[in-house]
Amino acid sequence: MFLPTTKREVEQLGWDNIDIILITGDSYIDSPFVGVAVIGKVLLNAGYRVGIIAQPDVTSNKDVGRIGEPKLFWGISGGCIDSMVANRTATGRKRKRDDYTPGGVNNRRPDRAVIVYSNLIRAHFKGTSPIVLGGIEASLRRIAHYDFWTDKIRRSILFDAKADYLLYGMAERSVVELASCIRDGNDPREIRGLCYISREIPDGCLKLPSFRKAAEDKNAFTGMFNSFYRNNDPITASPLAQRQDTRYLIQNPPALYLSGAELDAVHALEYERDLHPFYRRHGEVKALETIRFSIATHRGCYGECSFCAIAVHQGRTVRCRSKRSILAEARQIVSHPMFKGTIRDVGGPTANMYGFECSRKLKDGCCPKKRCLFPKICPELRINHEKQISLLKALRSIEGVRKVVVASGIRHDMVLADKKNGTRYLGEVVRNHVSGQMKIAPEHSEMHVLEKMGKPGRDVLLKFRDLFYTLTKKEGRKQFLTFYMIAAHPGCTESDMARLKSFSQSKLKLLPRQVQVFTPTPSTYSTLMYWTERDPFSGKPCFVEKTFRGRQRQKDALT
């Protein structure tokens, strides 16, 4: 079922009131790939009456008041992407298209959606139920953070939105705990994964530099970010406190990760894999083309690329679903009336992290001062693609499935590091799971830029390229590798882009078409470098191209 989005739908369900209303900056797509839909279904499954209002009109109460007022709380998400990233390009232009808006025109999501929606509720419902923030925008802006669009450090979004609580990361567990605390009149301030505002610092909190100090002093900001980043593992994290005005933001340690069985249970909930009919009259949403018939096999990523927020939002420990659960989802997909035979993607933040984790990490938490893949792949990881090979084979053999595509990114260095099954895995992918092109993301060719990104060097890339084409030739296929690159990352100059061009022409024999200008999104190490113009790992100064023109020129250098 779809969660109700109008009063009439609430009544049709036989509900005389509603416990929780979720507001989102995306349209309401009922899919396991859409956080607000997952949270809604998890709460429903826990016995709560939940409604969703998607992309409300922010100039009136006609949408936000559509269902009434919730008994327990309002939940606000900016959507699957930070609203500033969704609305603006890295060179400052307004984006015209939005893949999560019906009809595709980017006219429904306000800038700083989380703050705007919270103000909207406060304006129309005086003395209402608590307002709870969640989703990627709130999660990555939960402490003092650099904001590219105003070029300054902003305080916690919990303060700017004047909300009551913030749930960060993947919040299935904490949102159910919060709902039951509010329902039963208990104090929720011990819940893991929760941020709240306090006049005092509770015992045991690690005190971060204040917002003011972090905003004024780049060294203090760097120290603050390091502490924040290190205290993000559920096994080892301390609670954090950061003074914002006269009060403190308190961040409890992260929620314990869902076990494999719990993750399976989340995916076993019923999803329509479609846009709610209320919104369909405005057109289709493009995002559905890719997510409708895709399957997420796991969460988290230990890649820790400096520009990526997955480690902060989903965590550095990979948690996997069982093969049985994934196959059950595939069978459900096959029975969907619109399914034509192709599963569009099987993967996660990185496709080939399914099926193994470092046993030391599982027991003691992530290493505080070591990355799992960079500068070298840690031997404790024991990379093994065996389970992925077996999973892909089982998916292919389901009746009604013609093709299973692995469209999520593959870490090419991990394929080469798996001496036992890496070549076999790539062989399977090349033979059965590529749809014309396989995309990989080396991001650059110059080692001093790659070091800042936390990405492997060009030797690994060239070895992988050779292996891919050898296997492709063996299979007699016509398929290609395409490469994602980043321009204007901290440390990268126009000369570096010229060298990348020359490397691409001479070694890769093509010019990459997928070139993104680096966007300093909140709460990543690359953003820290952008703001401080210093490499936080070496402490040395670092060139950063900050002008829109210069950034665009870096991109153009590759065309």
**Chain residues in the site for ligand SF4 (CB under 6 A):** 301, 303-305, 308, 310, 349-350, 358, 360-361, 366-367, 370, 372, 378, 380-381, 409, 411
Least distance (Å) between residue 521 CB and ligand SF4? 12
The residue among 181 and 318 lying less far from ligand SF4, judged by its C-beta, is 318
Minimum CB–partner distance for residue 360 and ligand SF4 (Å): 5
Per DSSP (E only), the strands in 137-293 are 145-147, 152-154, 165-167, 194-198, 206-207, 240-243, 248-251, 274-275
* Widest CA span in the chain: 68
CB 342 within 8 A of CB 400: no
Q: Which amino acid is at 526?
A: S
- 8 Å CB contact between 171 and 255: yes
CB of 420 to ligand SF4, least distance (A): 17
∠ at Cα 354 (135, 330), nearest 5°?
A: 80
CA atoms of 276 and 125, how far apart (whole Å): 26
Query: 62 near 124, Cβ under 8 Å?
Result: no
CB of 361 to ligand SF4, least distance (A): 4
Q: Distance (Å, rounded) from C-alpha 332 to C-alpha 278?
A: 24
Strands 403-404 and 342-343, by their bridges, are: parallel
- Can you tell me which residue has the tokens 């990555």? 140
Q: Using the Cα atoms of residue 134, residue 137, residue 138 and residue 143 in order, give the sign of their dihedral.
A: positive
CB-based contact 198:220 (threshold 8 Å): no
CB-nearer residue toward ligand SF4: 39 or 381:
381
Please count the CA atoms within 13 angstroms of the CA of 313 that sit on its side-chain side. 22
Name the residue number minimizing CB distance to ligand SF4. Answer: 303
The amino acid present at 135, given as its one-letter code, is: G
In the complex, the smallest distance separating the C-beta of residue 356 from ligand SF4, rounded to whole angstroms, is 10
Could you tell me which residues come within 8 angstroms of residue 303 by beta carbon, excluding any fewer than 6 positions away?
A: 310, 311, 349, 350, 353, 372, 373, 411, 454
Least distance (Å) from ligand SF4 to the CB of residue 184?
Answer: 38
CB of 121 to ligand SF4, least distance (A): 33
Whichever of 123 and 256 has its CB closer to ligand SF4, that residue is: 256
Q: Closest approach of Cβ 438 to ligand SF4, in Å?
A: 15
Is residue 278 within a helix (H) or strand (E), and if so which, with residue range?
helix 277-280
Cβ–Cβ under 8 Å, residues 456 and 374: yes
Q: Which is nearer to ligand SF4, 182 or 310 (CB)?
A: 310
Nearest residue (CB) to ligand SF4, 236 versus 322: 236
Residue 488: closest CA among 142, 91, 42: 91
Residue 379 corresponds to which amino acid?
P
- Of the two residues 65 and 457, which places its CB atom closer to ligand SF4 in the complex? 457
CA dihedral in degrees (87, 91, 96, 100; nearest 10)? -40
Per the CB < 8 A criterion, the answer to whether 157 and 141 are in contact is yes
CB 381 to ligand SF4: min, Å: 4
Nearer to ligand SF4, 321 or 411 (CB): 411
Write down the least CB distance from residue 307 to ligand SF4, Å: 7
Q: For residue 83, which of 50, 58, 52 has the smallest C-alpha distance?
A: 58
Q: Which is nearer to ligand SF4, 366 or 450 (CB)?
A: 366
Q: How far is the CB of 122 from ligand SF4 (least distance, A)?
A: 35
Placement of tokens 């070139």 in the chain: 515
Nearer to ligand SF4, 176 or 414 (CB): 414
* Residue closer to ligand SF4, measured from CB, 250 or 301: 301
Q: Choose between 119 and 306: whose C-beta lies nearer to ligand SF4.
A: 306
